[in-house]
Structures are given as C-alpha cells and as structure tokens.
Amino acid sequence: NYIRNFYEGKYKNMGKRVFSYLSLLPQSLIAPPMYDDDGNKVRIRLNYLLLANPGMAKTVISRHFASWAYNPLVFEDITSSMLNFTLSKKGKRATLVTSDIARIFAKEELIKEMETIIGDDGRLSRLNRRTGDKEKEIEAIACLAGTPDNLNKTIEDGMIFRLCPQICLLTQEQHDEILRSVNEKVGLGFKPEGFIDKEQIIGAYYEIIRRILDGEDENIKLNEKDAYEIPSSFRREIAEKVIPFFNEAFSNTDFTYVRELHQTYRFMIAHALLNIFNRTIISGKILMEQEDLDMAIKLIIAELETKVWIIEGMSDISERRIRNRQELKVFAQSQLQAGSPMNQKKFKIMELLLENR
C-alpha cells in the first residue's frame, strides 16, 4: 500500500491502479519458480502492458519504475540485433522498459524476438558473432506502455496474451479529479528532498528483497525448489471464485486459460514476497496469507475481463460487420433490448478497436 499510495499522491487516479501491478514485477523476475507435484516448473515472471491516452503520465511512470527495477533496459526505439547485443552484456536477468510500444510493434522481427525473450523459455535466440554462437538463457520481464491506438497491433501479433494488459480509461469524474490535482501543484516548485528521498527508500527496499531472493541475506533464506507454502484452502477458493471465470471465458472465446491460472499464483507469490517481512517463513518456505490471495484474485479477474472484452469485441466487430461508432451504438442497443446489456468498458474497448482499424 505504501508504494501505491505514494504514487497515487503524485498521479491521481493512475498511481494506485498502475502500481498495483508494477510493485509486483521486480520480485517476480528473481523469485524462485514454483513446481507442481510432477516437478514441472512454473516461473513467477510477470509482464505488464499499460495502455492510456496521451497526457496520463505513461513516460514518467515508466521512468519511476525503472529507477527501482532490477537491471533495467530503458529504450524508446531499438533494433532486434541491438536488443540482443545489449541484453547479452547485461548478465542473466533484465527488465525491459519502454513507454512507446508503437515503435516496437512496427518491427515484426523485434516483436518475435521480444516474445522469445520474455516468454516461458526466456532466451536470446538470434545471437551474432559478437555475442556468441549459442543461444543464451535469460531471465527477463517487460514493462511496456503506449496509447490505446496500439491495441489492434498488439492483438494481431499475439503479444498481448504474453502480458498483463491494463487499459486505463477515465470517467468524467476521474478526469475532473486529475485536473484539480494537477492545478493544485502548478507553479509550486520542485522539492527534490521529499519525493526523491521517498523513491530512494522504495529502491532500497527492493534491493533488500533482491538480497534475500539471491541468497545473500544470512537471516532469511528461501528454498530454491520448494519456496512457497500455499494453504489448500486457497486452492479451493481459487477453484470456487476464479476458475468459473476462466470456464466462462473459454465458452465465450474458445481460448484456453491455463496461463492465466498460473498467473493467479504469480500475483499471490509476488505480493507475499513484496511483504516478506510481514510473512511467516518456516523451513525455507514463505507462507501465503489471505491478503496475498485477495490481491491475486482481484488482479487476475481484472486481467481476464480485459482480455475477454478485447477478444469478444474483435469477434463482434468482425462477425456483425460493425464499421463505425454509430453501428456500434445500434449493436449495444440491440444487446440491451435482448436482456444482455454491454459492459461500458467493453463498449469503450470496441470503440478503440474501430478507431484504429
């Protein structure tokens, strides 16, 4: 809550929403993987995509995140070969950070390379003579940002399904609150001793977490292959509250959601690690608490809803040959009359899809 509230104070109606995800990314990069009872490994790594209109602080938020992310590579434009070369020099782990995905998704080869780098396998696959002859394994996560008009391209290339997408749309009231918050601060002058000191505290805290997860702390140790204690009641709660959402999404889209089920546990574990000093550790295993589960359920349902609205929106536009906003309104009205009113956020997403076809 400290991190979310801190940035909410700077970026009204954006800080809490965005940093609910961003605060979980650093430790997800270096956390021990989880295993099922057959020994199959599931990495904890989380990848994030923020889509928001111009003027909603995407660039500066990305910079804040990069200031305490682990081994960040910040770029606005880069080639596939330069990305590989740079990452090959950064060591075994990296955090990719960009606030302009339009440039990234304009390059087909770069998209495929990023999919390989941040995918489940995590590898640099197109190394040249300068970087070596063999593929190199890498632990990498991504924090990507752009405007909603990039939505179509991310879907076409499939990258959105490797990421946790968050589309930050504002109500009229939220927009008014942002304007008033900005207005109160205009012309007051920058006071670095307050903001920078607090952000440095956040960075120092993540460094402490890094030392623990890298085994450098003498007092707190986690097992490499059995680091998490998840109560069986949590699995039952996920089965009761989350899996029905996945099943409904499957019936509506024909996409499978095993990756999203794993994502629920990634969120839970990353949240527990963020609060490691308030968690019980027994025999090298950190015990998940209800707060971790509650946050995981909240985040995964939001992620799933966004993905389903995007998939359904594209399908409806295609099947019903909706060409513009007026035809979309007619379709939404028909849904209302049929007793199935369209979710307002889905309507907004369909508007975005239509605007940028």
Backbone CA torsion sign across 165, 147, 64, 16: negative
Per-residue pLDDT of the chain (357 residues; tens, 9 = 90+): 899 999 998 899 999 999 999 999 999 999 999 988 888 889 999 999 999 888 888 999 999 999 999 999 999 888 888 888 888 888 889 999 998 888 887 888 888 888 888 887 788 865 544 545 567 788 999 999 988 877 766 665 567 778 999 998 888 898 898 888 888 888 777 665 566 678 889 999 999 999 999 999 999 999 998 999 999 999 999 999 999 999 998 988 888 899 999 999 999 999 999 999 999 999 999 999 999 999 999 999 999 999 888 888 888 898 889 999 999 999 999 998 888 888 888 898 888 888 766
Both tokens of 165, joined, read 């997408």
DSSP states along 63-115: HHHHHHSSSEEE-SS--HHHHHHHHHTS-SEEEEEES-HHHHTT-HHHHHHHH
Write down the pLDDT at residue 333.
Answer: 92
Write down the pLDDT at residue 191.
Answer: 64
DSSP 227: -
Non-local CB neighbours of 119 within 8 Å, separated by 6+ positions: 162
Write down the pLDDT at residue 160.
Answer: 76
Q: Cβ–Cβ contacts within 10 Å for residue 274, how many?
A: 21
Alpha-carbon gap, residue 79 to 257, rounded angstroms: 32
Write down the pLDDT at residue 77.
Answer: 85
Q: Cβ–Cβ contacts within 10 Å for residue 266, how many?
A: 24
